[in-house]
């Protein structure tokens, strides 16, 4: 289909009476040009007509206002001012868009963060508050016997006092432009602590040893389009399964890159979008020896991991024709399966009785559900990410499942060009309350619009930390916390980053330059460098020198990991040494 691009057919002009020019000009950034009128003057209907009467719209929806009354005076100079209109609502008087590194919302639209009308992101109650927009449960879920059993049997295993969170907040190594298309999923190796797997939109799978930073490999022939999910084979951690939008599940040997296809839903090739099946959600149920995988038509498939073949018929688990984007097997109770999809539902299933309409619970959301996961240790909580900009938490699958225990407003808008955001549990947190998720909306950070990665205490809704790096200007929708170490892996555009806690990381200045690998890409390609092998030192120095100005030391408060909006003088000071941040000061400065 031909691209639909709006074009500017006419300049944005307002022709104003020269005598009115002083009083009619408005904002500072309004551009004005003087023009001598030379052409013939069309007869004007009425002098007293308001300007709006002559207003018209150009191809871009921008308003052109022409004051014809000035033309009566013949060859007198008139003023043409290019009056700007809001690019969102096309109305004058305000302008949406970036002012420096701060995005100004269109006041005519609902808040971009919480989606409620009446205010903008700047004044959204969910924006700055540390409590970050928690909507508490309407009632405690303690009125049934199952919950009572849960409280008595499982609760004691959960530590009453939460340990202090350790936040990996400093980039320690990276591969820049590693993939040829955007990163779509990440997976840590189950036993080798330093191996990170990454899938991309093109169907390729990367294997990166982030300790030996330069040891990396991208397997190019595994899939032909988006790798949506990857899982390690439970009986052989040298093998991975991957589900792709090409409609196949692959099983790949990480050593050799040799790949076999377990299942293909499009044996007859491309017959048009109405028949092309894509695989999204996937997980492994090692107890039952099956890979569970689901497609974009609402169907679930089971693949036997021993015979590597499909077992049984496809089962409709979400609205027919809707995409099932996520599947998760309960880590404790292998009979439980959690699915989520574009029909605005997450559903819990009993693996022993999988048939259409037999879900145990249907968890309603207001928009598409990007992901839903059982908590990693007890498997008794559920965390979901929905495109209505809310995280939802069900505190106990044994309790009342009619409504989520909590909703947390968080900016993770859907954008067709981004991998959908998914909030993920910290697998190491014994209290099962820390989650990580990238943020869509940017923050003005020292004059740069950066998109942090948020750490949220989902038991309270508190924003525990937001981590960012001045060199990462792209959104980081894909994030994974290490199963054993205090490490965060993030995928942002085509690049991968490994974050470690600041106190455990070496100071930036002393950081080994070889920790950042610059891969291919036309923009940065230089003479004499091979595409994909551009380990250019000067690029790395660029990263380091830019980073040097932005060193911050954590204060006592765990939320003080946020960087402050530095003033030039402070920056100068900061470049000499580390700086302690006061949270309250930072918040007040930010506004």
Partner DNA sequence: AGCCTATGCAGCC
Partner DNA sequence: TGGCTGCCCTAGGC
Considering only residues 303 through 322, tell me which ones interact with DNA, judged by CB under 7 A. Answer: 321
> Binding DNA by CB under 7 A: which of 141, 244, 342, 471?
342
H/E stretch holding 294:
strand 290-295
Interface with DNA includes 422 (CB under 7 A)?
no
> Binding DNA by CB under 7 A: which of 161, 522, 569, 584?
522
Considering only residues 246 through 305, tell me which ones interact with DNA, judged by CB under 7 A. Answer: none
- Using CA atoms, how far residue 10 sits from 13, 56, 62, 78, 92, in Å, is 8, 11, 9, 18, 16
Which range, of 2-10, 282-290, 306-314, 550-558, touches DNA by CB under 7 A?
Answer: 2-10
**Least distance from DNA to the Cβ atom of residue 122, Å:** 8
**Least distance from DNA to the Cβ atom of residue 529, Å:** 14
Interface with DNA includes 367 (CB under 7 A)?
yes
**Least distance from DNA to the Cβ atom of residue 373, Å:** 18
Interface with DNA includes 244 (CB under 7 A)?
no
Rounded to whole angstroms, the Cα distance separating 551 from 577 reads 8
Interface with DNA includes 577 (CB under 7 A)?
no
Considering only residues 32 through 61, tell me which ones interact with DNA, judged by CB under 7 A. Answer: none
Toward DNA, which CB reaches closer, 122 or 137? 122
> Binding DNA by CB under 7 A: which of 475, 498, 560, 574?
475
Considering only residues 214 through 243, tell me which ones interact with DNA, judged by CB under 7 A. Answer: 225
Toward DNA, which CB reaches closer, 84 or 233? 84
**Least distance from DNA to the Cβ atom of residue 420, Å:** 7
Interface with DNA includes 543 (CB under 7 A)?
no
> Binding DNA by CB under 7 A: which of 15, 64, 106, 324?
106
Toward DNA, which CB reaches closer, 368 or 456? 368
Interface with DNA includes 474 (CB under 7 A)?
yes
> Which residues face 540 on adjacent strands?
none
Which range, of 22-30, 257-265, 469-477, 506-514, touches DNA by CB under 7 A?
Answer: 469-477
**Least distance from DNA to the Cβ atom of residue 399, Å:** 28
- Burial 383-402, CB ≥16 within 10 A → b, else e: bbbbbbbbbbbbbbbbbbbe
* Token output for 13: 């002009």
Who contacts 104 (Cβ-Cβ below 8 Å, separation ≥6)?
94, 95, 96, 97, 98, 120, 122
CB 385 within 8 A of CB 407: no
Which range, of 33-41, 331-339, 472-480, 482-490, touches DNA by CB under 7 A?
Answer: 472-480
Rounded to whole angstroms, the Cα distance separating 460 from 307 reads 45
Query: Per-residue x/- marks for DNA, 113-152, CB under 7 A?
Result: --------x-------------------------------
Interface with DNA includes 416 (CB under 7 A)?
yes
**Least distance from DNA to the Cβ atom of residue 581, Å:** 23
Interface with DNA includes 389 (CB under 7 A)?
no
* Token output for 358: 């037999």
Toward DNA, which CB reaches closer, 164 or 522? 522
Considering only residues 480 through 499, tell me which ones interact with DNA, judged by CB under 7 A. Answer: 492-495
The alpha carbon of residue 453 and the mean position of all alpha carbons in its chain are separated, in whole angstroms, by 9
> Binding DNA by CB under 7 A: which of 294, 368, 465, 487?
368
CB 363 within 8 A of CB 336: no
* Token output for 55: 């207003």
202 torsion bin: left (phi>0), alpha (psi -120 to 50), beta (else): alpha
Interface with DNA includes 1 (CB under 7 A)?
yes
DSSP class of 67: -
Interface with DNA includes 441 (CB under 7 A)?
yes
Gyration radius (Cα) of the chain, Å: 28
Count of positions on this chain that bind DNA (CB under 7 A): 50
Toward DNA, which CB reaches closer, 163 or 321? 321
- Count other C-beta atoms under 10 Å from residue 508's C-beta: 20
Interface with DNA includes 521 (CB under 7 A)?
yes
From 129, 66, 127, select the one nearest 460 (Cα to Cα): 129
From 451, 450, 427, select the one nearest 379 (Cα to Cα): 427
- Using CA atoms, how far residue 162 sits from 159, 430, 431, 453, 463, in Å, is 6, 8, 6, 22, 15
Interface with DNA includes 548 (CB under 7 A)?
no
> Binding DNA by CB under 7 A: which of 448, 449, 544, 583?
449
End-to-end Cα spacing for the chain: 44
Which range, of 71-79, 326-334, 520-528, 559-567, touches DNA by CB under 7 A?
Answer: 520-528
Interface with DNA includes 94 (CB under 7 A)?
no
> Binding DNA by CB under 7 A: which of 109, 288, 553, 590?
109
CB 183 within 8 A of CB 422: no
SS (H, E, C) 346-376: EEEEEHHHCCCCCCCEEEECCCCEEEEEECC
In the β-sheet with 406-409, what is the strand arrangement from edge to edge? 134-135, 406-409, 390-394, 382-386, 369-374
Interface with DNA includes 565 (CB under 7 A)?
no
Toward DNA, which CB reaches closer, 183 or 464? 183
Look-up of token digits 């249907």: 362
- Maximum Cα–Cα distance across the chain: 91
- Binding residues vs DNA (CB under 7 A): 1, 3-5, 7, 87-88, 96, 98, 103, 105-106, 109-110, 112, 121, 177, 180, 182, 225, 245, 321, 323, 325, 342, 344, 367-368, 387, 414-418, 440-442, 449, 451, 473-475, 492-495, 520-523
């Amino acid at each position: 289909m031909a691209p639909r691009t709006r074009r500017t057919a006419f300049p944005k002009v307002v022709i104003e009476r020269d005598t009115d020019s002083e009083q009619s000009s408005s904002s500072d950034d309004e551009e004005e040009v003087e023009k001598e009128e030379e052409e013939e003057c069309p007869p004007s209907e009425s002098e007293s007509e308001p300007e709006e009467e002559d207003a018209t719209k150009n191809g871009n929806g921008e308003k052109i206002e022409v004051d014809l009354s000035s033309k009566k005076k013949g060859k007198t100079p008139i003023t043409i001012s290019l009056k700007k209109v809001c690019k969102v609502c096309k109305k004058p008087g305000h302008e949406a868009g970036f002012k420096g590194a701060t995005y100004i919302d269109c006041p005519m639209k609902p808040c971009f963060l919480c989606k409620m009308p009446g205010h903008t992101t700047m004044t959204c109650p969910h924006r700055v508050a540390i409590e970050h927009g928690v909507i508490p449960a309407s009632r405690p879920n303690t009125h049934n016997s199952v919950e009572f059993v849960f409280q008595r049997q499982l609760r004691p295993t959960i530590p009453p006092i939460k340990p202090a969170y350790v936040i990996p907040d400093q980039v320690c190594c990276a591969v820049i432009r590693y993939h040829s298309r955007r990163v779509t999923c990440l997976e840590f190796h189950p036993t080798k602590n330093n191996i990170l797997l990454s899938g991309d939109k093109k169907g390729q799978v990367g294997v990166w040893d982030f300790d030996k930073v330069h040891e990396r490999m991208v397997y190019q022939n595994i899939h032909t389009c988006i790798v949506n999910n990857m899982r390690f084979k439970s009986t052989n951690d040298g093998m991975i399964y991957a589900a792709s939008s090409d409609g196949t599940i692959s099983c790949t040997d990480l050593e050799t890159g040799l790949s076999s296809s377990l299942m293909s839903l499009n044996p007859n090739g491309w017959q048009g979008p109405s028949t092309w099946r894509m695989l999204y959600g996937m997980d492994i149920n090692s107890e039952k020896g099956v890979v569970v995988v689901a497609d974009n038509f609402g169907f679930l498939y089971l693949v036997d991991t021993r015979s590597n073949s499909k077992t049984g018929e496809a089962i409709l688990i979400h609205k027919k024709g809707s995409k099932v984007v996520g599947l998760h097997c309960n880590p404790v109770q292998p009979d439980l399966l959690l699915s989520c999809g574009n029909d605005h539902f997450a559903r819990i299933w009993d693996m022993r009785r999988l048939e259409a309409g037999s879900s145990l619970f249907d968890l309603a959301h207001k928009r598409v559900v990007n992901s839903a996961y059982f908590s990693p240790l007890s498997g008794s909580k559920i965390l979901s990410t929905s495109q209505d900009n809310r995280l939802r938490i069900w505190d106990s699958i044994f309790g009342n499942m009619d409504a989520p225990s909590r909703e947390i407003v968080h900016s993770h808008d859907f954008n067709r060009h981004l991998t959908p955001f998914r909030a993920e549990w910290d697998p190491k947190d014994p209290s099962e309350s820390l989650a990580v998720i990238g943020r869509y909306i940017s923050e003005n950070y020292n004059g740069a619009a950066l998109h942090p990665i948020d750490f949220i205490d989902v038991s309270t809704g508190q924003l525990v930390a937001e981590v960012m790096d001045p060199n990462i200007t792209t959104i980081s929708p894909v994030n994974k916390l290490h199963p054993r170490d205090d490490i965060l892996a993030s995928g942002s555009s085509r690049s991968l980053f490994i974050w470690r806690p600041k106190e455990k990381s070496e100071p930036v200045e002393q950081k080994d330059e070889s920790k950042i690998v610059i891969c291919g890409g036309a923009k940065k390609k230089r003479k004499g460098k091979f595409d994909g092998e551009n380990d250019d030192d000067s690029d790395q120095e660029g990263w380091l020198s830019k980073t040097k100005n932005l060193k911050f030391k954590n204060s006592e408060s765990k939320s003080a990991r946020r960087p402050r909006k530095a003033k030039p003088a402070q920056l100068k000071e900061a470049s000499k040494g580390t700086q302690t941040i006061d949270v309250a000061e930072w918040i007040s400065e930010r506004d």
